[in-house]
Amino acid sequence: MYVRHVAAAAAAFLGWALVLSGGPATAAASITAASAATATAGPDPVRLVGAPVLYAHRGASAYAPENTLAAVDLAEDLGVDWVENDVQRTKDGELVVIHDDTLSRTTDVKTRYPDRKPWRVADFTAAEIAGLDAGSWFGPQFAGARVPTLRQYLDRVRFNQQKLLLEIKKPELYPGIEQDTLRVLEEAGWLGEQQVENRLVVQSFSVDCVRMVHSLHPDLITAFLGTPAAEDLPVYAEFADRINPWHTTITAEWVAAVHALRGVHGRTLEVDTWIVDDPAVARKVQEMGVDGIITNAPDVVREAVGGF
């Protein structure tokens, strides 16, 4: 599934240009136009040989408020198979999908609860967070969007027949979040053989977290977020299948060093780099040999490198 026509790609590219110049409201309107063009387009193009897999970072977050169901749906409209999200835990133990460990940037929490600074996720109940507006900060057309629970997010991704790159965020703030995450994944039907083999990757910046997830559920595909020194890569290959670095920190030689190793499941260790939204940068990391690109604007990157 992906954008199937030059007109759709052009409209989506225009939407990203408007993000740079005119803000999210105009960008979202352009994405709507792109989706309409896609609906009337012809057959899918052939994927380019060597094109990387594309991951919609926090959903299609260039065009919709990050980590919301609206961003997931827009990624689906663009035909992006993989979405990435962040998981944290509320005061009463609910897992919610949000990037920051505070609620202030992406919700109206300051207005709703002015006396509860610094508005940490861990200091609010699931019910309190569910009542916040997580869309208006991005654009008025998203007013009323909510911070989804992990279960709500999983159900939407599954309904859209998408795949999930799930990041456990700041696990040091939430002891036991690895077990909690695996429990919700199990309850939502995401730990079956088909999902584990083809539709789910769990990642973290924390070595201990990735190691713990692998220990608790050895079948899962796991990824470490960061750029370990080449000589240290064999240690990571003992508990991870992928190394996911920031694009400014890598070279073709480093990518080749990763590919020279086999991950914990015996397959070539992969590299999915982030966050790439610029076409020239996308082509640069493609030439380095990365396996995947994590991006806020998957339509723009696809136009540049032919990913899927």
pLDDT per residue rounded down to tens, the chain (308 residues) = 333 333 333 333 334 333 333 344 434 444 434 433 333 333 333 334 579 999 999 999 999 999 999 999 999 999 999 999 999 999 999 999 999 999 999 999 999 999 999 999 999 999 999 999 999 999 999 999 999 999 999 999 999 999 999 999 999 999 999 999 999 999 999 999 888 989 999 999 999 999 999 999 999 999 999 999 999 999 999 999 999 999 999 999 999 999 999 999 999 999 999 999 999 999 999 999 999 999 999 999 999 998 76
Query: Distance between CA 153 and CA 174 in Å, rounded?
Result: 20
Active-site residue 5, yes or no?
no
Beta carbons of 69 and 148 less than 8 angstroms apart = yes
Cis preceding-peptide flag for 118 (omega within 30 of 0): yes
For residue range 208-235, list pLDDT tens digits in order: 999 999 999 999 999 999 999 999 999 9
| Cα 306 → chain centroid | 19
Rounded Cα distance between 7 and 169, Å, is 37
- Do residues 167 and 225 lie in contact, with contact meaning Cβ atoms separated by under 8 Å? yes
Distance CA 155, CA 149 (A): 10
Burial 143-157 (b: 16+ CB within 10 A, else e): eebbbbbbbbbbbbb
The pTM score is 0.84
Catalytic residue among 5, 57, 214, 247: 57
Q: Spell 264-284 as b/e; 16+ CB within 10 A means b.
A: beeeebbbbbbbbbbbebbeb
Element at 164 (helix H, strand E)? strand 163-168
| Active-site residue, selected from the candidate residues 5, 99, 214, 247 | 99
The whole-number pLDDT of residue 186 equals 97
> What is the per-residue pLDDT across 226-269, written as a single tens digit (0 to 9) for each?
999 999 999 999 999 999 999 999 999 999 999 999 999 999 99
